Structure 1
């Protein structure tokens, strides 16, 4: 028998009539309704004073190359990482602009993620298929997103190449279909491996032999979608002074060492996650989050916001760009490129209460890191940052010729991660890096990927 419900538990006609009367008694609400129906809520709620109050002027800026475009792919973390590295090539080769191949790193990221997923399946063979962990693993076996330490793993293992050595393809710029095919393949493979173990009692060592055949098929799909990654290439360019240079028969690793040469292990991901389960001054990792088996685990150092901001400012004022992760969809306008807490007044427009603390947004699923970009400038007045210059990877038709501007108030609420050279850390935080990291569950907000 069903449980008898009270009137307060169900939607009644009387309740709807009461809400209807409440809505209709204020004529302004109908005006707002008409405006939103015609123009959309963002247009109606946008504070038109903000673009005037947050100009694209900065007291400190770093030279950058031409704005890049990830197009219809989720490779922002990779674009942001390569955008920081390309500045070394531009400086050493005396170039106005330059791009490293995002497609090249994407190929190896997809291949490594396939192996990482299959190994995760083999490590969880005794977990129930309908359990939370297996459901999480199967949710997105080979997504586009990534993390800074995953970027480091790829560069250290495979090096980098100029963009013209492995240019974009249809599938690299519009990844949905390729990802769908790869996901189908990996889910099917997971089902076969788990069935062989549970029903046929095949040993894990023998299952790994089957895994190699699966990876062969994944490699084939990637080659046909993205092209074959180069092993040797010639680097040819003409500098600002129109001098021509040619460096023949380079490997991707040799190119990286000669023309980039950044010691990526000297950098650490610093986060600001003010939730009760993540005390400040400690390090964290996330279970089953990664791409390269045998590579560097994802590692975070959690600090208070004032420390987080101070470290970012120090590195930026030393003319070194800062890779960062944020929740880009919050209070942001793609056309103007403005990111500010007062940009949209949804509360007064709709006459509702929406405010939450940063910790509450993380704990209750209202916010998490969704996008990676690069800080390339900052506006400082009397020692305090007022706004930040952001290099995005959405092409030149977004924001101010591809650049965005972030208010310092937005920084406080929706910035979650910056990559900082260890030399900027105080001794107490350097010591914290020697701690055994606390392992977070895969579905923790800090397990999100840009």
Structure 2
């Protein structure tokens, strides 16, 4: 092994002392922090929130202290269509707490089924350890919210408002995950003691009954039906009585969710382009829609997003929201901070290297609502976030095209915008199964 010696330390210190700029840079960094010291203010000024393709904007929502960005992004794409069609008021939102309730409920059952399927393995087995590390969490992917909506529908926020736990979920998650781990002990013991499938199913049902009660007290009781009233864009008053969540989705949103599919850009050797992928043990609804990705090269990936925006449809998309971000100004740009020059170190990695070596993965989902095209090529993108209206331009962020290239991993595209050969691949190719911990299985 290579030891750090006192002689090496002395040489390192001497090297710092001999750099005339070190003292000034040290003062800048220790006083302001790395990002402020490395920030390029001129570059920030160039990222103006003006776009050649700019869909109508709604007031942004706020997920507060919860990890529901993927859910907010999905419901925001749908509410934009509703508002455009019916002229609903700016503050109108679909209930993120309603889908959150059912997501928690279904994720617990999904966890139980995976625990039973792996009960013959030691708790130190990587798959079992993966399951027990986080039995459920707030995050998710596009196909997971689709599975929830297809089974439970949606409701307006007025029919199922926010609760303390839906907006501040850490306390509930800690308690709920502890319960699920305890439940895992009971289920593994049943399987390993030779219990019948009927006995195992009965135990899961009893545990799900406890979970429903816990969720009902924490988030509220989800409505089986509700009344909905509004004035349309012509000022005419409408009232719907005893709407079910499924009928509400069918009448007021009406999307064929099977037409919206997940496209990824993962330029790693283990994921050839023009092939579909699924992820082992990733999902929420047992018997519902599975997670399925079509991996495409970057140019095609971006072109599909532009086509959908140009046709007037927003785009759900997933990114790594950590790097090169000014949260307050709402800027996402690879040139915004020059840490390389600040430290005289080359920090660069390719997109594939970041994925392969654990430096990046999808952590956040938002909505593309615009793009600035110059000679047909994108230069920057308009992004609807779900962090409230205090950041960025009234909650909207500006993302440079270079940042898109490096840190955007997923877009949801309507099949009609795909070339026929890609539609055929998505429909007919057998997906390659990825490991549970693959970065394309990360939850936004």
TM-score by length of structure 1 reads 0.96
The aligned runs of 1:292-303 (5 Å cut-off) are 292-303=285-296
The one-character-per-residue Cα deviations of 1:384-437 (angstroms, maximum 9, x if unpaired) are 111100000000001111000111111111111100010111121111111110
Aligned counterpart, 1:386: 379
SS in 2 for 1:164: helix
Contact 1:113 1:142 in 2 (8 A): yes
Name 1:201's counterpart in structure 2.
194
Partner residue of 2:64? 71
Q: Quick check: 1:221 aligned with 2:214?
A: yes
Unaligned runs of 5+ in 2: none
Aligned: 1:156 with 2:145: no
- What residue number does 2:134 align with? 140
SS in 1 for 2:159: coil
1-structure distance, mates of 2:261, 2:226: 32
Matched, 1:237 2:243: no
**Pairing partner for 1:32 from 25, 35, 50:** 25
Q: Would the aligned equivalents of 1:88 and 1:259 in 2 still touch at CA under 8 Å?
A: no
Whether the 8 Å contact between 2:116 and 2:191 is mirrored in structure 1 is no
- Aligned residue for 2:165? 171
Query: Residue in 1 aligned with 2:402?
Result: 409
Deviations 1:144-198 (A, max 9, x none): 0000000110111111000011011110000001011110000001012112322
Residue correspondence of structure 1 range 25-104 to structure 2 within 5 A:
25-97=18-90, 98-104=92-98
Maintained 8 Å contact 2:382/2:397: yes
Q: Which of 407, 426, 431 pairs up with 1:437?
A: 431
Q: Secondary structure at the match of 1:228?
A: coil
- State the match for 2:305 in structure 1: 312
Distance 1:196 1:204 in 2: 10
Matches within 5 A, 1:103-118: 103-118=97-112
8 Å Cα contact 1:122/1:204 also seen in 2: no
Give SS of 1:103's match.
Answer: helix
Query: Within the alignment, does 1:377 sit opposite 2:364 as a pair?
Result: no
Query: Cα distance, 1:236 vs. partner?
Result: 1.3
What are the within-5 Å matches in structure 2 for residues 282-361 of structure 1?
Answer: 282-361=275-354
State the number of aligned residues: 442
The reply to whether residue 125 of structure 1 matches residue 135 of structure 2 is no
| Residue 241 of structure 1, CA deviation | 5.0
Specify the SS of the correspondent of 1:49: helix
Matches of 2:126 and 2:198 in 1, distance apart? 26
CA distance in 2, matches of 1:365, 1:205: 42
Contact 1:65 1:96 in 2 (8 A): no
Partner of 1:185: 179
CA-based RMSD of the aligned residues comes to 1.1
Distance in 2 between residues matched to 1:237 and 1:169, nearest whole Å = 23
Query: What do residues 262-304 of structure 1 show as CA deviations (whole Å, max 9, x unaligned)?
Result: 1110011111000000000000000000000001110000010
Mapped to 2, the partners of 1:313 and 1:14 lie a distance apart of 57
Contact 1:96 1:240 in 2 (8 A): no
Matched, 1:446 2:440: yes
Q: Are the counterparts in 2 of residues 328 and 370 from structure 1 also a CA contact under 8 Å? A: yes
Tell me which residue corresponds to 1:15: 8
Equivalent-residue separation in structure 1 for 2:407 and 2:238 (angstroms)? 44
Query: Shift of the alpha carbon at 1:375?
Result: 0.5
Report the 3-state secondary structure (helix = DSSP H, G, I; strand = E; otherwise coil) of the residue aligned with 1:418: strand
1:71 deviates by 0.4
Which string of whole-angstrom CA distances, capped at 9 and with x for unpartnered residues, describes residues 344-398 of structure 1?
A: 1011111111111110000000111111000001111111111100000000001
SS in 2 for 1:91: helix
